[in-house]
Each structure stands twice: as structure tokens, then as C-alpha cells.
């Protein structure tokens, strides 16, 4: 499966953030979308998710147009309904995604999968830590099984243990979907991702990980990011 972007442009006033981007992503890989803060990573994601109207664009899954059900989006600041417990939220989400008449699966194995303690499963999510809310966002994407999973710097503010758990979870989920992981941290992109895509000066460039093993090439990437007009 391929996720294809054609002619994506977005400006804010006179500031051109995304410049006629055409690019393709293959399923089964985690792509590191690497760029400085302000380079346009979140703008790109919001255009794909239709939260932001692009000036021009076409999105496809293979030879058909991308639809809302194809997309999963994990925000850098988790958004969950604070008035529900973790268990209530997962039950609600399973209710709307399990085919009518099919038995509802057990909920606790989902919590086990992302290491949420049994004592926390029936707490209101307003009392969840940032990392736990992030895990709940990941759980609903495990259930929904989107073709394209967008991850907007989801590990940046997590503690070391939760971040490592999340990295292993992402690796286990990549399967037959396209996973795009945005970050401004070069070493994290190299560690987690199968391919690196550099967003700089409003365009996307594919970077070989073999080249990134060379310190001289890393310095060239850092220099390119420093020069980014949007940084």
C-alpha cells in the first residue's frame, strides 16, 4: 500500500509553509518526519487530516482518494474526554468500531498491551498523566487500524520508561500501515524510524539512514535545518 501526496501547498498570508509537495510513503515502515520547530510538520499533518484547508492538494491510498477513516492522528498534547474513565472510553470506542452483532472483546488486554496499571483503568482520565493519555490515544488507533497513522512528536515530553514503551509499541504496530512520526530530534528519528524525510524550506526530501550513520552527513542535515526560513 502507498500513501501519496500530490501538489500540497499551504500559505499563511505571504508566508509559504508547504511548497507544492509531492511525495509517497510505503506501508510497513515508520517514517521520521524531521524538521525544526516551526518548519511546517504540524501544518502538513493538519492538511492531511483535513483539520486545515490546504491551498492545493490531492491525497491517495494507492489509486483511490484518501478518506477520513484512513487516518489516525496522535497529537503531541493528548486530547481525551476527561469526564470518562479509561475503561468507559475504550468501551465506547469499541462499541462504535465493532461490527453490529459481534461480541465486544475483553477490554483489559488492551490496557495490558500498553502497560496501564489495573488500578488506573477505572480512574477518570482527567487524573491521567501525560504519558497515560498518550497511551490511550495509541490504543484507539490500535482498535481503529487506520491506513495512515500520523504521530505529532508524541514522545517529546514522556519520561524515559514510557518513551521506550511507546517506541516498542510503534514498532509492533507498523505492519500494513503507513506510520509518519514527526520530530525535531535527529537521534530519535534515526533510532526509531525505517526512513527519514526532511521537511525544510517547505519541501520534503528523503534521506538515507545509511548516510545518517556518517557524522559529516549529520552535520549537513543540521546545517540545512538551521537555514530553514521557517525555523
Decide if pLDDT at 111 tops 70: yes
Residue 161: domain span: 2-81+149-226
Determine, yes or no, domain membership for 202: yes
Determine, yes or no, domain membership for 136: no
Q: Give the per-residue pLDDT at 161.
A: 80
Determine, yes or no, domain membership for 126: no
With beta carbons less than 8 A apart as the criterion, state whether 110 and 118 touch: no
Determine, yes or no, domain membership for 142: no
- pLDDT-based confidence at residue 217 (cuts at 50, 70, 90): low
Determine, yes or no, domain membership for 137: no
CA dihedral 153, 38, 209, 195 (to 10 degrees): 60
Q: What is the pTM of this model?
A: 0.85
Determine, yes or no, domain membership for 158: yes
d(CA 132, CA 155): 12
Tell me the average pLDDT across 146-170: 82
Determine, yes or no, domain membership for 218: yes
Q: How far is CA 231 from the centre of its chain?
A: 21
- pLDDT-based confidence at residue 191 (cuts at 50, 70, 90): confident
Decide if pLDDT at 86 tops 90: yes
Question: What b/e string do you get for 45-78 counting C-beta neighbours within 10 Å, with b at 16 or more?
Answer: bbbbbeeeebeebebebeeeebeeebbbbbbbeb
Average pLDDT, the chain: 87
Q: Give the per-residue pLDDT at 97.
A: 81
Please name the residues in contact with 122: beta carbons below 8 A apart, sequence gap of 6 or more.
85, 86, 87
Tell me the average pLDDT across 204-208: 86
Structural domain count of the chain = 1
Lowest mean pLDDT among 15-29, 99-113, 123-137, 191-205: 99-113
Q: Give the per-residue pLDDT at 134.
A: 85
Q: Which residue has the higher pLDDT, 155 or 144?
A: 144
- Per-residue pLDDT reduced to its tens digit, 39-56: 899 999 999 999 999 999
Identify which of 165-169, 190-194, 198-202 has the greatest average pLDDT. 198-202
- pLDDT-based confidence at residue 143 (cuts at 50, 70, 90): confident
**Start-to-end Cα distance in the chain:** 33
d(CA 220, CA 231): 16
Determine, yes or no, domain membership for 186: yes
CATH number at residue 157: 3.40.50.300
Strand runs labelled E in the chain: 2-12, 15-26, 29-34, 56-61, 64-65, 71-74, 148-152, 178-183, 195-200, 203-207
| Closest C-alpha among 167, 179, 107 to residue 143 | 107
Decide if pLDDT at 228 tops 90: no
Q: Which residue has the higher pLDDT, 210 or 98?
A: 98
Decide if pLDDT at 98 tops 90: no
Q: Give the per-residue pLDDT at 166.
A: 79
Amino acid at each position: 500500500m502507498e500513501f501519496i501526496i500530490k501538489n500540497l501547498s499551504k500559505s499563511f498570508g505571504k508566508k509559504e509553509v508547504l511548497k507544492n509537495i509531492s511525495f509517497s510513503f510505503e506501508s510497513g515502515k515508520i517514517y521520521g518526519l524531521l524538521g525544526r520547530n516551526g518548519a511546517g510538520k504540524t501544518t502538513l499533518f493538519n492538511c492531511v487530516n483535513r483539520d486545515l484547508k490546504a491551498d492545493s492538494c490531492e491525497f491517495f491510498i494507492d489509486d483511490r482518494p484518501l478518506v477520513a477513516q484512513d487516518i489516525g492522528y496522535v497529537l503531541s498534547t493528548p486530547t481525551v474526554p476527561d469526564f470518562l474513565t479509561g475503561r468507559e472510553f475504550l468501551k465506547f470506542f469499541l462499541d462504535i468500531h465493532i461490527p453490529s452483532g459481534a461480541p465486544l472483546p475483553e477490554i483489559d488486554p488492551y490496557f495490558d498491551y500498553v502497560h496501564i496499571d489495573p488500578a488506573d483503568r477505572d480512574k477518570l482520565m482527567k487524573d491521567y498523566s501525560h504519558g497515560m493519555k498518550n497511551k490511550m490515544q495509541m490504543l484507539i488507533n490500535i482498535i481503529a487500524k487506520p491506513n495512515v497513522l500520523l504521530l505529532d512528536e508524541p514522545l517529546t515530553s514522556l519520561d524515559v520508561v514510557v518513551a521506550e514503551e511507546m517506541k516498542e509499541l510503534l514498532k509492533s504496530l507498523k505492519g500494513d500501515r503507513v506510520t509518519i512520526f514527526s520530530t525535531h530530534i535527529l537521534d530519535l528519528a534515526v533510532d526509531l524510524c525505517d526512513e527519514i524525510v526532511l521537511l525544510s524550506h517547505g519541501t520534503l526530501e528523503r534521506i538515507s539512514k545509511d548516510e545518517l550513520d556518517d557524522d559529516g552527513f549529520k552535520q549537513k542535515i543540521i546545517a540545512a535545518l538551521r537555514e530553514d526560513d521557517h525555523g
